Copies of this chain bind each other. A is one copy, B any other.
Amino acid sequence: MVSIKDVAKQAGVAISTVSKVLNNYPNVSEETKKKVNQAVAELNFVPNTVAAALSSKQSGRVALLLNLNNAAQSVDEINMQYMAGTIGRAVELNLDVITIFDSMLKNKNLEEVVRYLRSQSITGLLIFGMSKDDKVLHQLIDAQLFKIVTVDAPIVNASSSAIWIDQEAAQYEVAKKTLTENKGKSILYLAGKKNGYVTGERLRGVQRLAEEKKIPMLVRNGEFSELQARNLTFRYAKKKDVVVCASDLMAIGAMRALMEMDIFRPVCGFDGITLMGYAGKQMNTVRQDFTRIASEAVVELKRLLDGGEGQQIVLDYELVRMKYEDVIAAEEKQATRSGICFSGGINE
């Protein structure tokens, strides 16, 4: 295998000099830089990331922590977009990604998790969809031993950042739009998981709307479950005008129930997943660009790794109306979702 040593010999310089050139250190003249770069090109040299990771505790190995707790297939789309966004951007920024599932952390205490991460020379974490009762993850963030970016959990300190969309505003807007379009006079709100950070935010959004419009609202806990949303709809929808759901999956469950009851109620969802096209009727929802969210999370993590301070980042969203025709048309456009992966590629 062609190593940094071969490059050094070819360029007629020392190993350390090559390393300096590769990592953009100062104190290297343009001339030697040129020599080294030429040797790199001639030998087709690619640095061994494993050796780099071992040598400098700095070199970017990053863990992607996905939440598989929710068995619903709909989350697969979201998780895949998270992955695509993460890995695509990570390649660009020269970060290695190790994917971990939350289930692998079950029953582990802080010390064990830290040891595991260290054993993998991991210095940064991306945590997607952590809930309020994830004790170990909270400890992990508090300990500040790693650079961490959380998605959908607003926890910020010196070495960890948070990124999400404005949940409150998004829920407010999509509900308002749906209410207005249909001249609704009351709301049935099916809320998300009690222990999710987004749940309270979204609830506040729809509450603000209800107060502002001075209309009655019934709130029920749907736990992000299609089945529970279905049951709650059977039970309560007759009494209310508009069904606002904290997730698309619940919106689909609600819509199917309404169709089975053969009554009409406007329904809106949250997330913008493809499955919305298969609900039977079109619905408003909030489209989150999960690929972009993940991609920005990686950029932020890189910033933290480079010494930046933790911060809160709020990305934008989009109100959309989803229907079958659009969804299957979109399936044909290959580039859309994997787009980010095409840039970058293997080298640099």
- A228, closest chain B residue (CB): B332
Given contacts A101-B84, A256-B324, contact A44 B278 (CB under 8 A): no
* Chain B residues with CB below 8 A from A230, complex form: 328
Q: Is the CB of B98 within 8 A of A338?
A: no
Q: Is the CB of A119 within 8 A of B47?
A: yes
Q: Which of A246-303 contact B (CB under 8 A)?
A: 249, 252-253, 256, 273-275, 278-280
Instruction: Report which of B1, B121, B227, B346 forms a contact with A328, defined as CB distance below 8 A.
Output: B227
A53 vs B61: C-alpha distance when bound (angstroms): 14
Chain B binder among A107-115, A178-186, A211-219: A107-115
Q: Is the CB of A68 within 8 A of B111?
A: no
Q: Is the CB of A227 within 8 A of B331?
A: yes
- A69, closest chain B residue (CB): B334
* Chain B residues with CB below 8 A from A12, complex form: none
How many copies the complex holds: the figure is 2
Q: Which residue among A88, A273, A278 has the maximum number of chain B CB atoms within 10 Å of its CB?
A: A278
Q: Is the CB of A112 within 8 A of B256?
A: no
Given contacts A54-B50, A120-B49, A256-B324, contact A103 B68 (CB under 8 A): no
Given contacts A50-B121, A118-B1, contact A346 B104 (CB under 8 A): yes
A293 vs B211: C-alpha distance when bound (angstroms): 52
The 6 closest A-B pairs by CB, nearest first: A73-B274, A278-B278, A103-B341, A76-B80, A46-B119, A50-B121
